[in-house]
Amino acid sequence: MNMFAREMDTTAQASVLVLSRNPKLVDAIERALIQSPELSVASETLSLAEIGEAGGLFVTNRVVVFEANPEDELELHKLKEILSDRSEDNVVVALTKNDLSLQKARDLLDVGVDHVLPFSIKGDKFRALLRKELQETTPPAPVPEAETAPRSSVIAVTKSRGGVGATTVAVNLALGLAKLPGTPRVALVDLDMQFGNAGVFLDLEDNGGMQQLAEATELPDAHFMHGILQRHASGLDVLCAPASIMPLQSFSAEMVEHLINLLSAEYEYVVFDLPQALVDWVEPVLSRAARLEVVMDTSVPCVRQVRRLLDFLEYEHFRPRVDLIVNRESKPMFRSEALKQAQTILGRDIEHWLPDAPDIARKAVDLGRPAVASKPGSGLGRSFVRMAKTVQQGAPNAPKTKNEERV
Ligand SMILES: Nc1ncnc2c1ncn2[C@@H]1O[C@H](COP(=O)(O)OP(=O)(O)OP(=O)(O)O)[C@@H](O)[C@H]1O
Ligand SMILES: [Mg+2]
């Protein structure tokens, strides 16, 4: 298959759109579905009737989950019209009150809904149902072999242009992971040696740790490493970039490889904020990374730069799972021609869309309190929580989901 000709619906993840005017319901469904690594979930606090009339809904989204009230004849009539646009490949799920009559459930099926489920459906059952529906055409996500799977997840964050938001992502993702249930141990390393400012985002001053590491005459031990890491109030351990500019060649690939070994032995997640330059000591990070988070925008130069990076990874046989993160843009309801072209060039779907939130981002930097901690309920904060959960679900140490959990 020509990988550049792939359409959104046949990528490893299936796009799910959740629709309801009730934000609590939207949030509960999103939280339940986000645990499936094979689903990429987006939501709108709008009804299907409100959104569906614009057309194109079923092209952009493989699965549509919506709150339905089949007792409303007018709504049912509108649904029939909207669902006439769906294809065989789409999966349409209506969520309704628990005591819906059989006749009303049948009415929904008649207008083109695939499944009618009660609001009280358990999260694991819901996920299992979608998995089964999508199984036939979606390739299964690769499962690491238990005996070779590492305990620790190395996550690298890179940028497709300066200022696109990579440090914002690295810091919020690391903090989001550290705040997950079970408070996993997380280390954040700012390898943007010359211009790194992750410490500023966390209100931490450089303690000279990176400089000591660069000047070390032999490979450091765990004790040395503890001495140069700084504990953030959240529990996150941080290795800041030096306050004064260091030449890029101050570091060696051997040193970085060794640092990864030391950190991986102690931390469940090690997040690296990478420099834009592909210096040789970045290679150990790329070869050990389970995930590479690529922060970008949808402008033509940025998309081209990401394509070059993907080609480089392929050429060098680096095989991290790549997540494309578009910053400062919300996920569009319908794909514009430009976005379709961008996805064709990239040959893959966009994993996360982070809304433009200048006030929150500015305050977060000024106060040294990242959005995921200071504004976890905001659109931006929620996106980072979601990102951390997605990373956790794909990690070798991912917790089991609870059976009793409900939507
Ligand atoms: N979603 C957002 N909404 C609004 N502002 C944002 C958003 N994300 C990041 N910013 C702001 O954009 C600026 C650049 O972000 P950041 O430092 O994370 O980018 P970077 O890619 O790491 O840049 P550099 O090239 O300097 O390393 C910061 O002022 C940050 O607060
Ligand atoms: Mg940066």
Task: Starting from the CA of residue 276, give the closest ligand.
Answer: 1
State pLDDT tens for residues 11-40: 457 889 999 999 999 989 988 888 888 888
227-256 pLDDT tens trace: 999 999 999 999 999 999 888 888 899 999
| Same domain flag for 129 and 158 | no
- Residues 248, 129, single domain; the answer is no
In ligand 1, the atom with minimum distance to the C-alpha of 361 is 31
Q: Total structural domains in the chain?
A: 2
- Does a structural domain hold residue 406? no
Of 5 and 75, more confident: 75
pLDDT attached to residue 124: 87
Band (5; pLDDT cuts 50, 70, 90): very low
pLDDT at 89 over 90: no
Question: 330 and 360 in contact (C-beta within 8 Å)?
Answer: no
**What residues make up the domain containing 282?**
153-394
Q: Among 158, 160, 161, 167, which residue has the most ligand 1 atoms within 8 Å of its CB, making it the best to mutate?
A: 167
Cα(353) to centroid(ligand 2), Å:
18
| 292 Cβ closer than 6 Å to some ligand 1 atom | no
Using the predicted structure, report yes or no on whether residue 272 has a pLDDT greater than 50.
Answer: yes
Q: Which pLDDT belongs to residue 145?
A: 42
Give the pLDDT of residue 146.
42
Q: What is the mean pLDDT of residues 340-349?
A: 92
Residue with tokens 């207008």: 111
Provide mean pLDDT across the span 149-164: 88
Position 400 in a domain: no
* Residue 318 CB burial class (10 angstroms; 0-12, 13-18, ≥19): middle
Q: What is the dihedral of CA 228, 278, 317, 253, to 10 degrees?
A: -40
Ligand 1 in reach of 142 Cβ (< 6 A) = no
Is the pLDDT assigned to residue 369 strictly greater than 90?
yes
CATH number of the domain enclosing 62: 3.40.50.2300
pLDDT given for residue 405 in this prediction: 44
307 and 187 both lie in a single domain: yes
In a shared domain, residues 258 and 125: no
Domain contains 141: no
How far, in Å, CA of 186 to CA of 200, rounded?
18
Q: Do the bridges between strand 269-273 and strand 321-327 make them parallel or antiparallel, or are there none, so unpaired?
A: unpaired
Residue 389 in contact with ligand 1 by CB distance below 6 A: no
Distance (angstroms) between ligand 1 centre and the Cα of 40 equals 24
Per cent of the chain over pLDDT 70 is 90
Q: For residue range 207-229, list pLDDT tens digits in order.
A: 999 999 999 988 999 999 999 99
Regarding pTM above 0.75, the answer is: no
> Could you tell me if residue 247 is inside a domain?
yes
CB 248 within 8 A of CB 277: yes
Asked if residue 142 belongs to a domain, the reply is no
Do residues 129 and 163 share a domain? no
Query: What mean pLDDT is predicted for residues 160-185?
Result: 96
Q: Is there a domain that residue 114 lies in? A: yes
Q: Is 163 in the pocket of ligand 1 (CB under 6 A)?
A: yes
The residue from 84, 104, 135 where one domain ends is: 135
pLDDT at 404 over 80: no
Over 70: is that where the pLDDT of 9 sits? no
Rounded Cα distance between 374 and 360, Å, is 9
Closest ligand 1 atom to residue 163 Cα is 23
Q: Is the domain of 259 the same as that of 181?
A: yes
Are 350 and 256 in the same domain?
yes
133 lines ligand 1 (CB under 6 A): no
Q: With cut-offs at 50, 70 and 90, classify the pLDDT of residue 1.
A: very low
Structural domain includes residue 143: no
pLDDT at 141 over 60: no
* Phi then psi dihedrals of residue 151, to 5 deg: -75, -30
Give the CATH number for residue 333. 3.40.50.300
Q: Are both 130 and 181 inside the same structural domain?
A: no
